[in-house]
Amino acid sequence: MGSSSGWRMAGMEVPLLSTDSIDWRQLSVPSYSSSTSTANNSNHSLSKDFASCCGVGNPPSYFIWKTRKARSNVLEILELGSCKEISRIGLQLTFPDALFPFAFIYKDESKSTSGDLLLLYTLTVSGVAYLIRLRDNFDYGTSSLVPSNEILGYNTQSHPHYGAITTVAASEGCLSIGRSDGSIGCFQLGTLDPSSSGFVYELRDDVGFGRLWGILSRSSTLAAVQDLVMSKVQQRKFLFVLHSDGSFRVWDLLTRSKIFSHTMTAPSLTGAFVRLWVGEANADTGTIPLAMLHQQNLEVSTETIFLYGLHCNVGDKTPLSLEPSLKKISLGEGGLVDVKLTSNNVWILKEEGLIMQDLLRDDFTGGLAHYYALQETFVADQLFQSSEHSSDDLLWLACSSFSSAKDEVVPFVSSLFLRSLLSPGVYCNAVLRQTFGDYSKHFTDSEFGSFTVDGLKSELLSLMEHQGGSTSPVSILQCWKTFCARYVNNWCKYNAACGLLIDSLTGSVGLVRNNTISLCRGLEDVEHVIYGSFEENTKCVGSGFDSSSDELDRQILFEFLQCVRCVSQQLGKASSAIISEFLSRPHVSSEEVIPQFLKILEIGYSSSTGATLVSELGVDTAWERELLNHRTLRKFSANMFLSLRALCHKANSWGKVLDVVESHLKFLVPCKIVLNLDAESVFHILDSAIVHSTSQIARVMFESVLDVLMLLSYMTSICGQINMSHDDVSRVKLEFIPMIQEIMTEWHIIHFFGTTPSESPPIEDFSYKLSSLQIDSNGDKRLWNANLGKCEFSLAYILLLRMQSSSRELRNLSFSRLPNPSSLVSLSREFTSWIICGRSGEESSVFFSNAIDLAIILLGHNQYSATEYLLTSVDLYSRKEKIFGSLQAVDGKYSALFHLLGCCLIAQTHGLHVPDRDRKLREAIHCFFRAASMEGSSNALQSLPDEAGWLRIDFSSSPSASSWKLQYYQWVMQLFEQYNESEAASQFAIAALEQVDAALGTMDTSSRENLGESVTTAKGRLWANIFKFTLDLNNYHDAYCAITSNPDEESRTICLRRFIIVLYERGAVKMLCDGQLPLIGLVEKVERELAWKAERSDISAKPNPFKLLYAFEMHRHNWRRAASYIYLYSVRLKAEAAVKDHQLRSLTLQERLNGLAAAINALQLVHPSYAWIDAPVDDISPDRENYPNKKAKITKQEKSLSDDDLPQRPPSYLDVEKLEKEFLLTSAEHLLSLANIKWSSTGNNKPSPELINLLVESYSYDMAFLVILKFWKGSDLKRELERVFITMALTCCPSRLGPSLHGKDRKTHTLLLTSSQDEAVHNSLHTATTVHQFAGSSHWETLEQYLVCTS
């Protein structure tokens, strides 16, 4: 449409509300007719998708009603109140019959009722008229039926000879219907009772006796009523009637008389007038605008709208007169959807676009002056469906951009499509789900509703991969093209336009679609130049210059802009999308992207790009495309050379051209407006329109500035060919290009805010959980929080929460009425100004000052990725412009930038993969150190609000830089600690430690007391933190170094204990015992902590603390202490063995034997004079007695004894001999336990004869003789040996044993086996080789062997 001659773009459609989010309350309407029901008959000739709007009240509430062809008996009603929060409740009325595409809602002011009484007129195709009372907010409780006392039905076709109803119209208190027989019936529903006289009357031409005959007198020559319109003119109700034969009549409903009649004709056209529209009378001229639709009966139906003026002079003999002037608008092919007239304009909605014609212009004869781009065009353009070659350009440009990294092309193309598809204004939940269904990928309502933005991206990428689009750039592009083509097709069907929404008072215009409602915005001044003919927009362009601008400047600008357009066409529409995608990534500047595209303008696509695509496109296709590219490049180069030379010739010098360009660049800068912002805005009906309007304008401005940048860069590259001097080139590079990059950065960030969906709040975010519980009373904020993470809810909505405009339009409207197109642009302009400059509207470098405020707002809503993008963009631009020093001087705001950037980087580390996480951490550490190093950082950071995460610290006592850094580093340390980033936290703890001496050492005593700690305490606390962080990282050597470096004795002791406990828990405590750590000066403390740990640990703990103590002392050659600790271990094992079952008892006894053996070995390394240890008190250890609490203390008993000392043996001690005896008895107990015989030793004392009996009975002869020889001497030895041999001999003669001798309880006989050589027997048993218990073939052989050994 925009290419048609004489048509000029005047604005764009912007989404306002999606009805998918409406909670529809469904009510059924009872039947009032016995006629055949046509409910759900979508094939009825009068059924169609149509919608309109009724404004009720002042300020008005806009009641939008809609009928659907698929559900012809359902009427949908939605209230759109611009002065309050958007209503999320709609009403669906289900009628028994199909409905006319008609409804009328008005406020009944004739009755005194509480609240507003709203009445609804509607009509079924069977002729039943309904008057329904609508409740406030459609609150019908749980009822599914319209209450009988709130509905009135009347059958308008009560007489069978009535003609079929063809059309209907209504106003307050009156419903009029037109019939096929030409009659017009009027019904005063809501005014009179249906049984009252005068409730029904007809409008007809007959007079006198004709009225007596009533129905019989009706003229048979009157043509069918084609259309009816009821309108108020100068406080009188007029009914405008169009008949099928072209007769046009006007009736005065007050007098029920005809006041105008005329037969309408269309010269030189066949066909008939089929529709009629009436506008409001012009207050100045008194003219009522009329529009009539004429259809030609050709093979292809063509439509024309004829515009008339009906002059009104109420009180004259001829009150109405048709003006002779005739205007017509040829619509050509395509279906007409709706037409609306105001006093000055006519709005025509077609399936392919919205047309607006100024009725006051006299210079048009058929051409259309203005059109508005609809959302269909926007969606198709965003998804590269509007141009045949736009997607192909995308492929070649993407491959050229990644000439050195071809593997990145596929993910980049997918990222570009994903960003476009899921951006607000393009994304539609139901359409995307339907498109998934086209690929046989189905989801339930709950599944699809649970998808976040990232979830939708994953599903889309999975689908593309399944379609084979992950292998190459060509295949991925083809998959996305096919998917987006289906998406656009589904979008157009799902959101087809149904009607116009007009507020004649303000001039606002909007569209009602099947599932969305939208408004129309006007164009920014620069957009008039971009979308319109340059010659037709001199007035608009001139508004950007001083009044002194002459015609030559305008001509120079026009020719320059024509060159800009040529550059844009050469690169293709996809170029701006690719550059925008690059710039949307953090740490990517325009300087990295623009040179790639400049090469394309200079030399075309590289040969490597063509070679890459040969295998994908095929040799022939790729060759043809390369030839086309070469021809296009040659043509472009020649045209640009001639155009630029002609431009310079017209201006006489490049300096003059650059002066004009400089003026134009100022015209592209976002407007700076001073705003008065007193409070936060609420979630308002216009927010969606403002956000979408702002993002559309930002996109156009970004593309325009980018095109200018590309042209100027191209001019500098061919400066020799076009005779540009060195000074002119320097001026472009040093002045213009930095200025353009600044403007482009501003518009790109604005567009980024408007099109990037917000992030979902993290699940663990406590503040979000509180808001979701709806504890507070701020319902608006709850509504905003509920929208976070949805594709339709972009970042701009979050910013709009903080902004309440004070523009002239807003003060006048007070949001009480919908804004007109120009007012909506003004609102967008103010929002843009607020983003760029904040409240003050002051000029700043890349809105640096306001970027801090924006970042704080985004951080407060957990929008970390957006915050990173914003702050890195400002940082990149600032570094590029080399204004680092000046930024430091501006209240230290640069330090605030790095502080906030560090905060958002650390917040993003959760859930990332290790490489990305480590990169974010490194960047965050870098940012925090840079923030602390800036001049004035103390004041800047302390001025940040609470949502910036800063803790308030009072530096009034000592505002030194060191004190500031000390506190700041500690705060950052705590921040990293909260995110379990111990390595980063350790770095800032060390950095804080370096500031302690300078910060606290120079303070006086009172200042240090105010801070609450001394230098030693502060260092001790920081070293303790370093110890903790390094220990968390398993850096045990660094953790030990932190302990030894800690100057605070108490803190060092606590850390040491923690160190040992952690080493125990992680199985790394052996490093204390093997000399890996230099325990200089800490040996006694480590030993004490190990002993404290051993005393309070379970005996089965692994590693065993007593064994570690043994190893610890053995490594340091403290043999006696090693023996003492391992002996304590055996004592604990003895107590444990007493309560164990058979199997565990044997294992415990074996472990005790090992412990006793280790104690004996340790003491044998000591000089015999010192080879003893203290005997422990039964059940009470020295440690337990001395340390009743957990905190270990040093006691005299625990101090290490040097092996060179000459200690006095206490009364109770244990030497090697006693330990050997205890070892022997424990061995015997162990043997008995293996035989399932329970016996407990009594230490190293002489055992009872019962032990010997048990050993002999269990055939443990070796152990029995060892015990006897160890504990019995002299005659006792002989008697005991004799008793054992007797028992063994009796074993050889089982027949001589009585019953009492069998089993383990039998007693030995008093047979004696004497020997006079006690010592010889003792030595023989010790020196003889151990004899197996059953070495012989019988008991006799065993007895013989032992007799030989003891003889």
Q: What is the DSSP string of 665-698?
A: HHHHSPP-------SPPP--TTHHHHHHHHHHHH
Going from the C-alpha of 546 to that of each of 550, 656, 663, 1076, the distances in angstroms are 9, 16, 9, 82
Please, are residues 1287 and 1256 in contact by the beta-carbon 8 Å criterion? yes
The total of other beta-carbon atoms located within 10 Å of residue 1332's CB is 11
> How far is the CA of 281 from the CAs of 53, 387, 966, in angstroms?
19, 43, 76
**% pLDDT > 90, the chain:** 29
Q: What per-residue confidence (pLDDT) applies to 839?
A: 67
Pairing of strands 225-233, 174-179: unpaired
Which of 1-5, 96-100, 915-919 has the weakest average pLDDT?
1-5
Residue 348 has phi, psi (to 5 degrees) of: -120, 120
CA distance 1037 to 1077: 7
Residue 1069 has pLDDT above 60, yes or no: yes
pLDDT digit string (tens) for 315-358? 666 688 888 766 888 887 668 899 999 888 889 998 888 988 88
Mean pLDDT value of segment 903-920: 87
Instruction: Indicate the residue type of 464.
Output: M
pLDDT classification of 544: cutoffs 50, 70, 90: very low
Least confident piece of the model among 39-43, 710-714, 840-844, 1143-1147: 39-43
Alpha-carbon distances, residue 233 vs 74, 229, 278, 915, 1036 (angstroms): 33, 12, 11, 74, 92
Whether the upstream peptide bond of residue 670 has omega within 30° of 0, thus cis, is no
pLDDT of residue 674: 67
pTM of the model: 0.80
Neighbours of 737 (CB within 10 A): 19
Nearest to 480, CA basis, from 604, 390, 571, 587:
390
Residue 1103 has phi, psi (to 5 degrees) of -70, 150
Which run of H or E residues covers position 1215? strand 1213-1215
Residue 61, beta-bridge partner list = 56, 81
Rounded to whole angstroms, the Cα distance separating 51 from 39 reads 19
Look up residue 1205 and give its two tokens: 């000392």
C-alpha separations of 540 from 530, 544, 545, 747, 828 in Å: 11, 7, 10, 21, 18
Average pLDDT of the residues in 538-546: 46
Q: Taking residues 1295-1311, what's their average pLDDT?
A: 39
pLDDT tops 70 at residue 204 = yes
Here the tokens at position 1134 are 């003895």
Segment 180-185 long-range contacts (CB within 8 Å, at least 24 positions apart): 180/224, 180/225, 181/218, 181/222, 181/224, 182/218, 182/219, 182/222, 182/223, 182/224, 182/225, 182/243, 183/218, 183/222, 183/225, 184/225, 184/228, 184/239, 184/241, 184/251, 185/156
* Confidence band, pLDDT 50/70/90 cuts, at residue 314: low
Residues 6+ apart with CB under 8 A from 1051: 1020, 1021, 1023, 1024
pLDDT tops 90 at residue 764: no
Task: Please state the three-class secondary structure of 708-763 as a single string.
Answer: HHHHHHHHHHCCCCCCCCHHHHHHHHHHHHHHHHHHHHHHHHHHHHHHCECCCCCC
Q: What is the distance between the alpha carbons of residues 425 and 416, in angstroms, rounded to a whole number?
A: 16
Q: Dig out the tokens for 715 from the structure.
A: 């001019």
**Residue range 1170-1187, pLDDT digits in tens:** 888 887 765 434 343 333
pLDDT digits (tens, 9 = 90+) for 25-36: 999 998 876 544
Per-residue pLDDT tens over the stretch 585-613: 877 777 778 888 898 898 887 766 666 66
Paired residues of 565 in beta bridges: none
| Residue that wins the pLDDT comparison between 331 and 921 | 921
53-68: b (≥16 Cβ within 10 Å) or e: bbbbeeebbbbbbbbb
Q: Mean pLDDT throughout 85-108? A: 87
Residue 166: predicted pLDDT: 92
CA distance 608 to 443: 43
Q: Mean pLDDT highest for which of 286-300, 562-576, 798-812?
A: 562-576
What tokens were used for 922? 């490194």
Does position 1141 have pLDDT exceeding 80, yes or no? no
Residue 1211: pLDDT band with limits 50, 70, 90: low
Q: Residue 232 belongs to what H/E stretch?
A: strand 225-233
Selection from 480, 450, 443 nearest residue 464 by Cα: 480
Supply the pLDDT for residue 435: 95
- Give the pLDDT mean for 407-433: 91
Q: Do residues 814 and 681 make contact, with C-beta atoms less than 8 angstroms apart?
A: no
Distance of CA 155 to the CA centre of its chain: 56
Calpha distance 469→459 (Å, rounded): 14
d(CA 117, CA 125): 27
Q: Is 201 exposed, middle or buried (0-12, 13-18, 19+ CB in 10 A)?
A: middle
Q: Tell me the C-alpha distance between 1076 and 346, whole Å.
A: 92
| 416, two tokens | 């570009």
Give pLDDT, residue 548.
Answer: 45
Q: What is the pLDDT of residues 950-998, one digit of tens each?
A: 555 554 444 578 888 888 899 999 999 998 999 999 999 999 999 988 8
Helix (H, G, I), strand (E, B) or coil at 605: coil
The mean pLDDT value for 565-577 works out to 89
Per-residue pLDDT at 921: 93
pLDDT band at 1207 (very low <50, low <70, confident <90, very high): low
Q: Is the pLDDT of residue 1313 over 50?
A: no
Max alpha carbon distance in the chain (Å)? Answer: 170
Q: Is the peptide bond before 59 cis (omega within 30 degrees of 0)?
A: yes
Enter the DSSP assignment of 1180.
B
Q: Which residue has the tokens 């007012």?
A: 823
DSSP state of 367: -
Nearest-10 Cα torsion for 656, 662, 663, 668? 150
Residue 303, CA atoms < 13 Å, CB-side half-sphere:
17
Tokens, residue 190: 């809501």
Averaged pLDDT, 696-721: 93
- Concatenating the DSSP letter of every residue in 185-204 gives EEE-TTTS-TTSTTSEEEE-
Element (H, E) at 616: helix 607-617
Comparing 1258 with 1019, the larger pLDDT belongs to 1019
pLDDT at residue number 770: 41
CA–CA separation, 800 and 795 (whole Å)? 9
Place of tokens 């295949």: 475
Unique residue bearing structure tokens 């990294």: 405
The CA distance from 256 to 239, in Å, is: 10
Query: Residue 1196, class by beta-carbon neighbours within 10 Å (0-12 exposed, 13-18 middle, 19+ buried)?
Result: exposed
Residue 50 in 3-state DSSP?
Answer: strand
Q: Is the pLDDT of residue 66 over 50?
A: yes
Q: Which among 2, 12, 4, 5 has a CA at the least distance from the CA of 821?
A: 12
- The single residue listed with the structure tokens 């309007």 is 693
The more confidently predicted of residues 413 and 469 is 413
Tell whether the model's pLDDT for residue 55 goes beyond 90: no
What's the whole-number mean pLDDT along residues 493-509?
Answer: 90
Report the chain's mean pLDDT, rounded to a whole number.
79
pLDDT at 210: 44
Mean pLDDT of 279-308: 83
Indicate the range of 136-140, 450-454, 618-622 predicted with least confidence: 618-622
Q: Give every CB contact of residue 736 below 8 A, 6+ residues apart in sequence.
A: 658, 661, 662, 665, 712
What is the mean pLDDT of the segment spanning 1046-1069? 87
Give whichever of 462-476, 552-566, 1097-1111 has the largest mean pLDDT.
552-566
Q: To which H or E segment does residue 63 belong?
A: strand 61-67
Among 208-212, 218-222, 516-520, 1210-1214, the minimum mean pLDDT is found in: 208-212
CA 1312 to chain centroid, in Å, comes to 98
Residue percentage of the chain with pLDDT more than 70: 77
Residue 152 pLDDT grade (very low, low, confident, very high; cuts 50, 70, 90): very high
Specify whether the CB–CB gap between 527 and 700 falls below 8 A. yes
> Rounded to an integer, what distance in angstroms lies between the CA atom of residue 279 and that of residue 287?
9
Name the pLDDT band for 747 (thresholds 50, 70, 90). very high
439 touches 375 (CB < 8 A)? no
